[in-house]
Amino acid sequence: MQIRLEPKPYATAEADALVTYVFEKDDKFDGALGEINRAMDGRLASLAQGGEISGRSLELVLLHFPKGIASQRLLLVGAGKPGKFSPADLRKIAGTALRHLKSRGVRSFVFLAREGEHGPAAAQATVEGLIAADFESDKYRSDRKNREIQSVSLAGFNGGLDANLEAAIQHGKAIAESQNFARDLINEPSNRLTPRMLAAKAEEMARGAGLGIEILDERKIAELKMGALIGVAQGSVEPPRVIVVRYEPQMPKPGGPVLGLIGKAVTFDTGGISIKPANNMEKMKYDMGGGATMLGAMRALAELKPSISVVAVVPATENMPGGRAQKPGDVQVAMSGKTIEVINTDAEGRLILADAIFYARKLGCTHLIDAATLTGAIEVALANVHVGAFGTPREYLDKFLDSTKAAGEKMWPMPIDDEYQEMIKSHIADIRNTGSGKGGGAITAAWFLKEFAEDTPWVHLDIASTCWVDEGRPWLAKGPTGVAIRSIVDFALKM
Ligand code: BES
Ligand code: ZN
Ligand code: ZN
C-alpha cells in the first residue's frame, strides 16, 4: 500500500473513493463537508435529516457516484462528538474506512482531513491507523482473498510546510510497519517459530535495519548461569536463546542513559508439569508477544533514531512438560544468585524475565521497560481494554504513562505496595514464583520481576489480555494487536 500526500484538490482527485468524517453536531456540514453537500445539491443534509447520517462514532455511510466529486464513491465515517476529538480517533476512523472499503474490493482512496485536527500529528496517526488496519492473519489460508488497497492519498492536511507532513508520514509508517512486523511474529504457530527460528528472524530484521545483534545459545546461557531460564527451557527438546539487539545513536553521550527493553518470548506455553487445560491452549503460541513487541520497537527505533542507546533483551524458550522438565517444588538459582522455589511451572514468564532483566542491567541498562503476556489475572483486573502498567519509581512510570497518552494506547497504573512482596516470600528459598495469598496475581508477578530490577528505574507492562483480541474491531483484524510498541517508541524518542 502506497501512502502519499494528494497533490490535487480533493474534489478533482480521481480514486475509487473519497473518505472523510462527520461529527455528531447540528451544523454537520461546515467547511469541506459543506462544499461537498452543496455540490451534491444538499443531499447529505437531507440524509442527515432522515437520520441516516448521524455522526455517531464509526457509523459508515457509503454513497456511489457523488455529484461534483471525481472519485466514484463517498464514504462518510462517524467521528462522534467534536469536543473529544483527537489523533487517536483519526487512527480508528482511517482504519475503519480502510477495512470497510477493502472488503468491497476498492483499491484506492483519498482520505480528506477536516478542519481542526489536521497537522503533522494527525497525519502520523492517520498513517498509523491505515497501515495497522491493512494487516490480515490469513497467511496460511489457501482461499485468502486478493483484495488489496494499492494507494491512499491524504488531502486536507496542513503542516505549514509539506516537509513536516512528509516526515510525519514516514514516522507513522516506521511505527505501524514495525507493529505489523511484530504481529506477524505473534501469529506464527509454535512449530513455525521455535526459539531458534525467532532468533533467526530477529537477526534478519536487525541486519536489515542496521542494528547490532547477538544471539546467546544454550552454551552461553549455561555459562552465564541463567538458572531461572534454564529451568523453564529444560523440559523442551528445543534449546533456548537469548536475543540481544542494540541500537547506538550517532553521537552517544558518555554516561548517558541506556534503555533496556526486555520481552517475554515463550514460543509455546503448555504450562509445563503444571499443565494447562486443553481448552484454548492453542492461544499460547502468542506467549512470545512481549518479545515480539520489543523486536518491533527496535525495528521502529532503528529508523526513527533516538538520541539514547537502546538494548533489547529477549529470552526465548518453550515451556514443556517432559522427563527432564522442572517440577513444582524445584529450587532454581537465578543469574543474580537469588534462589527461587518454583511452586507452579506455569508461572514461567517471570522466571525467564528474572534472568533477562538482570542480564540487561549487567549490560549497562540504566532504565528498563519489560513487556510480557504474564498473567491471566490482568484480564480479571482490566479486561482487554487497558494494559496493566507497573513500575518504580513512580515518576518513571508517570513519564511512561505520558507516552501512552501521546501514542493513544490505553494503559492503567497498577499498585506495587510492599504488602504484595510478602506474598512471594518462600520458606525454602529467597522467593517463590507464585503469590501465596488469594488474588493480586498480576501484582505478585510484577513484584517477582522487581526483585531482579531492584532500584533500576523499571516499567513492567502486562499485555496478556491486550496483545491478542479474539474479536476483530472495525479498525483492526482479530488476532495480534501490536499493543505497546507505539508507547515504547514515543518514550525512547523523548528520553
Ligand atoms: N502465559 C501465561 C499467562 C497468559 C494467560 C497469557 C492467558 C495470555 C493469556 C502465564 O505464563 C501463566 O500461565 N500465568 C499463570 C500464573 C499462575 C500459575 C500463577 C496464570 O496467569 O494463570
Ligand atoms: Zn505459563
Ligand atoms: Zn506464559
State residue 175's pLDDT score. 98
299 CA to middle of ligand 3, Å?
A: 24
* Ligand 1 nearest atom to the CA of residue 276, by list position: 13
Residues 1-29 pLDDT 10s: 999 999 999 999 999 999 999 999 878 89
User: Quick check: CB of 370 below 6 Å from ligand 1?
Assistant: no
| Alpha carbons 350 and 332: distance in angstroms, whole number | 13
Residue 146 has pLDDT above 90, yes or no: no
pLDDT band for 433, please (50, 70, 90 cuts).
very high
487 CA to middle of ligand 2, Å?
A: 26
User: Quick check: CB of 344 below 6 Å from ligand 1?
Assistant: yes
Residue 171 grid coordinates: 514516522
346 CA to middle of ligand 2, Å?
A: 4
Residue 123 grid coordinates: 497525519
Alpha helices in 268-335 (DSSP H): 289-304
Residue 481 has pLDDT above 80, yes or no: yes
User: Quick check: CB of 349 below 6 Å from ligand 1?
Assistant: yes
SS3 of the chain: helix, strand, coil, percent, to 5: 40, 20, 40
Residue 160 has pLDDT above 80, yes or no: no
- Considering 350, 361, 432, 450, which one is annotated as catalytic? 350
pLDDT band for 303, please (50, 70, 90 cuts).
very high
286 CA to middle of ligand 3, Å?
A: 9
Q: What is the DSSP string of 7-65?
A: -S-TTT--SSEEEEEE-SSTT-S-HHHHHHHHHTTTHHHHHHHTTS----TT-EEEEES
Are the C-beta atoms of residues 240 and 233 closer than 8 Å to each other?
Answer: yes
| Alpha carbons 489 and 173: distance in angstroms, whole number | 13
State residue 116's pLDDT score. 84
User: Quick check: CB of 269 below 6 Å from ligand 1?
Assistant: yes
| Alpha carbons 246 and 120: distance in angstroms, whole number | 29
State residue 25's pLDDT score. 85
350 CA to middle of ligand 3, Å?
A: 8
pLDDT band for 437, please (50, 70, 90 cuts).
confident
Is 114 a catalytic site residue?
Answer: no
Residues 382-391 pLDDT 10s: 999 999 999 9
* Ligand 1 nearest atom to the CA of residue 269, by list position: 1
| Alpha carbons 130 and 124: distance in angstroms, whole number | 10
Residue closest via CA to ligand 1's atom 17 equals 347
- Considering 276, 338, 399, 473, which one is annotated as catalytic? 276
Contacts of 480 (CB under 8 A, 6+ apart): 137, 182, 183, 186, 187, 286, 289, 292, 467, 468
> Which H helix or E strand runs over 73?
strand 73-78
| Alpha carbons 495 and 493: distance in angstroms, whole number | 6
73 CA to middle of ligand 3, Å?
A: 47
CA 68 to chain centre: 41
User: Quick check: CB of 290 below 6 Å from ligand 1?
Assistant: no
User: Quick check: CB of 287 below 6 Å from ligand 1?
Assistant: yes
The per-residue pLDDT of the chain, averaged, comes to 97
269 CA to middle of ligand 2, Å?
A: 6
State residue 28's pLDDT score. 84
Residues 56-78 pLDDT 10s: 999 999 999 999 999 999 999 99
The size of the chain, in residues, is: 495
Are the C-beta atoms of residues 136 and 180 closer than 8 Å to each other?
Answer: no
Is 350 a catalytic site residue?
Answer: yes
Residues 75-124 pLDDT 10s: 999 999 988 899 999 999 999 999 999 999 999 999 999 988 889 999 99
* Ligand 1 nearest atom to the CA of residue 444, by list position: 19
User: Quick check: CB of 319 below 6 Å from ligand 1?
Assistant: no
Residue closest via CA to ligand 1's atom 9 equals 464
User: Quick check: CB of 488 below 6 Å from ligand 1?
Assistant: no
Residue closest via CA to ligand 1's atom 7 equals 376
Residues 328-381 pLDDT 10s: 999 999 999 999 999 999 999 999 999 999 999 999 999 999 999 999 999 999
User: Quick check: CB of 215 below 6 Å from ligand 1?
Assistant: no
Which domains does the chain carry? Answer: 2-143+150-156 (3.40.220.10), 175-494 (3.40.630.10)
Please state, as a whole number, how many other Cβ atoms lie within 10 Å of the Cβ of residue 161.
10
